Structure 1
Amino acid sequence: MIDTIIFDFGDVFINLDKEGSINALKKLGLSQWNEDLNQLNLQFEKGQISEEDFLQGIQKHVPNASIDEISAAWNAVLLDFPLRRLEFLQKLTKKYRLFLLSNTDAIHIETFERESGVSFYSDFYQCFEKVYYSFEMGMRKPDAEIFNYLLNKYDLAPNHTLFVDDKKENTDAALSLGIQVWNLQVGQEDVVDLFKKKEFEL
């Protein structure tokens, strides 16, 4: 029987345009996303570099763009957060221990909070026993350490814990630790359809 649910954030609750940032940066002159930029992003998602260092790192690849333009382009990934998902989450709080576990960065979270407003994001955060963002933890999915951290800190039984994420590499990592998983298929499934998933004892 599931008693705990760990949710991803992007494309589970907030909709994303996964190519949005890269496309916006290309409009600013980026030739292509490369390994240097990928490593820069990984460092930023782990909180290993500052927002300033991250944006300046991107600027080396788009030298004619301003820092403000680059920041706006970086936020192009963020879309809407349907109210029905928040309302669904609020119902879950009555029965389950809930956690949020997201690979993200300071720019995206600051933008989400500013654009959604205090009332909305406060209602969202209050649904969870704890909200975990990779840039605050110094860890990111799919590394086993981030899952083990939650399991150990909150004394969670893997077989009674469900992890919901849209990236298979993340759900595969959780599954290897004995956690039950739902690899949500974006565009075909919605988190509000959780109770239609008959493979889980909810």
Structure 2
Amino acid sequence: MQGIRNIIFDLGGVILNIDYQRTVRAFKDLGFDHFEQLYSQFHLSELFDHFETGKISPEQFLEALQQQAPPHITREQLLNAWNAMLLDFPLARLQILQQLRQHYNLYLLSNTNALHYDAFNKILLESRGIPSLDTFFDRAYFSHIIGLRKPYAEAYQFVLDAHALKASETLFIDDTLPNITGAEAVGLRTLHLPGPKTILDIFKPLH
């Protein structure tokens, strides 16, 4: 951490526990026999990219899912299946963020979408009594709000420029390797945090 003044965190898999397979199973239970294939098709068609960068609305996204769903499936069932991957905010991780903020400028940069945004803030409120992740950061940036997503250089640069941060003094933490590579391309110092490692393993002296 020598020379580090700022830390930019990823959200899913770093602060928020997620399990993509729960969403896969939930869609299969609704009759989507080839959800992984559909998910890949949606990626290729840029549907998810557009949803994560706010170019299409939640209603348009759910309509695209509805068109692939069996006739009896409701929007609420689709929404619940889509949000099934979102699990919990471990208290110890939130406490680490509170401690780190006493020593560093903290930022969040997350690829997410409007539906997940609402869902994980609800989880945070109901489980911890905290209405927003903004509480833990100097500023939180979400792809569907800023219109930029990792691993593209513009997303990282957006955060750096917004706060006049030096990349060489800024650590970026993410569980996804392509996002780490993207961050390194703009000069950020990086820490790849694949599961089962957590930020508690990295910042042991603080807890």
Residue 118 of structure 2 is aligned to residue 113 of structure 1: no
RMSD: 1.6
Shift of 1:99: 0.4
For residues 1-202 of structure 1, the aligned pairs below 5 Å read 1-32=3-34, 33=36, 34=38, 35-38=40-43, 39-64=46-71, 65-117=73-125, 119-122=129-132, 124-187=133-196, 189-195=197-203
Kindly provide the CA deviation profile for residues 18-59 of structure 1, in whole angstroms up to 9, marking residues without a partner as x. Answer: 222122112112132334322222211111111111011011
Q: In structure 2, how many angstroms separate the alpha carbons of the residues matched to 1:58 and 1:96? A: 41
Q: In the alignment, residue 95 of structure 2 is paired with which amino acid?
A: E
Shift of 1:196: 5.6
Identity of aligned residues (%): 37
Instruction: Note if contact 2:106-2:137 (Cα within 8 Å) is conserved in structure 1.
Output: yes
Kindly provide the CA deviation profile for residues 79-128 of structure 1, in whole angstroms up to 9, marking residues without a partner as x. Answer: 11100000010000111010000000111111112232173244x42221
Q: In structure 1, how many angstroms separate the alpha carbons of the residues matched to 2:200 and 2:8? A: 14
Instruction: Note if contact 2:88-2:123 (Cα within 8 Å) is conserved in structure 1.
Output: no
5+ long unaligned stretches in structure 1: 198-202
Kindly provide the CA deviation profile for residues 131-172 of structure 1, in whole angstroms up to 9, marking residues without a partner as x. Answer: 101000111100110011111221111111000000000001
Q: In the alignment, residue 145 of structure 1 is paired with which amino acid?
A: E
5+ long unaligned stretches in structure 2: none
Q: In the alignment, residue 58 of structure 2 is paired with which amino acid?
A: E
SS in structure 2 opposite 1:162?
strand
How many equivalent residue pairs? Answer: 195
Instruction: Note if contact 1:37-1:58 (Cα within 8 Å) is conserved in structure 2.
Output: no
Q: Which stretch of the first structure deviates more once superposed, 89-98 or 33-42? A: 33-42
Q: In the alignment, residue 41 of structure 1 is paired with which amino acid?
A: F
Alignment TM-score, normalising by the size of structure 1 = 0.91
